[in-house]
């Protein structure tokens, strides 16, 4: 490999890795906030936090990697122009077309990785993450209850348990507070157990007291009851049939499904690697700058192009699923023009560079 190719490939790779690390940290913060919110609503057991965080990040890579590729190439190219290295290359007869080899040397492995994450790893991670939550949903732990800790309940209120069995079906020293309109309801019990009644999860409190009255304390309309058994219906868990929706099906299964939602999901998975290739071709022309030009104008323009591409991909996927677009058209009306625009910009950049050097 020529030294020039090695040098440019190293510059591109460093910039892409730096962009990926920053975008990954930002995405991790957003995913972590979503998971904490689900835990607070009782939809996710705390024990699955780290595993869900890793699996969801893996499923988001098809959207993060194209942006990291675009920004990394753009920043590396801008630095070459800002440090006048690109002008030296033009002076010795090396133009943008000669940069295609080191560009593809870096971009093609990233495009292959995006395709692998989008078509295989991402759907597998999505399905595994949902399956783990559904499996945990079979016991009481999915309600978010932990021994010795006050926990918000999914249907409102706060719950506290002193001890819990290993399988999560037996609890002791229970306290539950709920509000219904302007009334509050407090229940305590020595012990409790969970069972299923026609598929619904029911929590039975044994040997306890229940107090019902105004939440504001404006009057003394309180009622105190002692009970031997008090049953509460827990929030309905996620339907296990969700695993059969196209979002959680593997790509080979989608290929055999002619339904519009399945085809929409298939095109959603095909689009990211092609968009990544289009963005890689756009990066060199968008990175062209003069020494006195603003440094981050092209970055904002590239980020805008990424947002437009992603939003159109989401909109097109929705149209296909709803039947407003034929499945044969798919997202090709977006992908092919984006690829054509990237190739045209790259070829035009070479002609502009030669004309500028002649002048």
Please compute Rg for the chain using Cα positions.
28
Cβ distance 170 to 193 under 8 Å?
Answer: yes
Q: Is-contact 345 281, C-beta < 8 A?
A: yes
Domain boundary among 237, 262, 281: 237
Percent residues over pLDDT 90 in the chain: 20
The last residue of a domain, from among 237, 260, 286: 237
Q: Is the pLDDT of residue 18 over 70?
A: yes
Report the number of distinct structural domains present in the chain: 2
Q: Quick one: pLDDT band at residue 86, thresholds 50, 70, 90? A: confident
- Band of the pLDDT at 357, cuts 50, 70, 90? very low
Tell me if 302 sits within 8 A of 282, measured CB to CB.
yes
Residue 167 has pLDDT above 80, yes or no: no
Mapped onto helix, strand or coil, the DSSP state of residue 210 is: strand
Extract the runs of DSSP E, i.e. beta strands, from 248-311: none
Beta partners for 172? 163, 191
Please indicate, yes or no, whether residues 28 and 124 belong to a single structural domain of this protein.
Answer: yes
* Joined tokens for residue 264: 């929409």
pLDDT at 124: 92
Question: What token pair was written down for 84?
Answer: 């006048």
Residue in 316, 242, 319, 271 with CA at minimum distance from that of residue 119: 271
Same domain, 331 and 201: no
Length of the chain, please?
A: 359
* Cβ partners under 8 Å of residue 57, min gap 6: 24, 27, 28, 31
Say yes or no to pLDDT of 353 above 50.
no
| Residue that is written with structure tokens 């399988």 in the block | 167
Claim to verify: residue 162 and residue 73 sit in the same structural domain? no
- Are residues 119 and 14 part of one domain? yes
Do 129 and 11 share a domain, yes or no? Answer: yes
At 95 the pLDDT is 67
pLDDT of 29 strictly over 60: yes
**First-to-last CA distance in the chain?**
33
List of residues 6+ apart from 358 with CB closer than 8 A:
none
Residue 238: closest CA among 31, 30, 38, 28: 38
**Residue 191 Ramachandran class (φ > 0 left, ψ -120 to 50 alpha, else beta):** beta
Selected residue with higher pLDDT from 93 and 22? 22
Q: Taking residues 101-112, what's their average pLDDT?
A: 90
Answer whether 209's CB lies under 8 Å from 187's CB: yes
How many Å apart are CA 205 and CA 228, to the nearest integer?
8
Which are the contacts of 253, defined by CB distance < 8 A and separation ≥ 6? none
Confidence at 141, pLDDT banded by 50, 70, 90: very low
pLDDT at residue 154 above 90? no
The residue range of the domain holding 147 is 143-237
Q: Do 303 and 353 share a structural domain?
A: yes
In a shared domain, residues 269 and 313: yes
* Residues 198 and 67 reside in one and the same domain: no
User: Taking a C-beta distance cutoff of 8 angstroms, is the pair 54, 128 a contact?
Assistant: no
Please answer whether residues 193 and 171 qualify as being in contact, where contact means their C-beta atoms are separated by less than 8 angstroms: yes
């Amino acid at each position: 490999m020529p030294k020039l190719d090695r040098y440019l490939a190293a510059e591109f790779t460093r910039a892409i890795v730096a962009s990926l690390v920053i975008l990954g940290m930002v995405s991790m913060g957003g995913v972590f906030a979503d998971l904490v919110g689900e835990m607070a609503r009782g939809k996710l057991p705390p024990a699955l936090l780290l595993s869900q965080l890793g699996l969801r990040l893996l499923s988001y890579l098809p959207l993060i990697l194209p942006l990291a590729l675009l920004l990394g190439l753009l920043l590396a190219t801008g630095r070459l122009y800002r440090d006048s290295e690109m002008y030296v290359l033009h002076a010795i007869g090396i133009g943008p077309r000669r940069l295609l080899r080191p560009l593809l040397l870096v971009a093609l492995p990233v495009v292959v990785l995006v395709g692998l994450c989008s078509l295989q790893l991402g759907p597998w991670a999505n399905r595994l993450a949902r399956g783990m939550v559904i499996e945990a949903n079979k016991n009481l732990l999915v309600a978010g209850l932990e021994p010795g800790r006050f926990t918000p309940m999914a249907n409102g209120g706060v719950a506290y348990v002193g001890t819990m069995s290993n399988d999560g079906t037996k609890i002791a020293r229970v306290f539950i507070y709920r509000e219904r309109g302007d009334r509050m309801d407090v229940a305590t019990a020595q012990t409790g157990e969970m069972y299923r009644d026609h598929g619904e999860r029911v929590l039975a409190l044994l040997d306890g007291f229940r107090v019902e009255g105004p939440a504001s304390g404006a009057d003394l309309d309180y009622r105190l009851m002692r009970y031997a058994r008090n049953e509460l219906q827990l929030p309905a868990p996620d339907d296990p049939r969700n695993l059969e929706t196209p979002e959680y099906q593997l790509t080979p299964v989608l290929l055999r499904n002619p339904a519009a939602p399945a085809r929409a999901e298939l095109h959603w998975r095909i689009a990211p690697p092609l968009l990544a290739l289009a963005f890689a071709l756009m990066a060199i022309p968008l990175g062209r700058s003069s020494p006195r030009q603003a440094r981050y104008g092209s970055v904002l323009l590239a980020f805008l192009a990424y947002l437009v591409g992603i939003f159109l991909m989401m909109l097109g996927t929705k149209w296909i699923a709803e039947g407003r677009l034929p499945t044969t058209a798919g997202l090709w009306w977006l992908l092919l023009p984006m690829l054509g625009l990237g190739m045209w910009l790259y070829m035009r950049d070479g002609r502009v560079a030669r004309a500028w050097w002649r002048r």
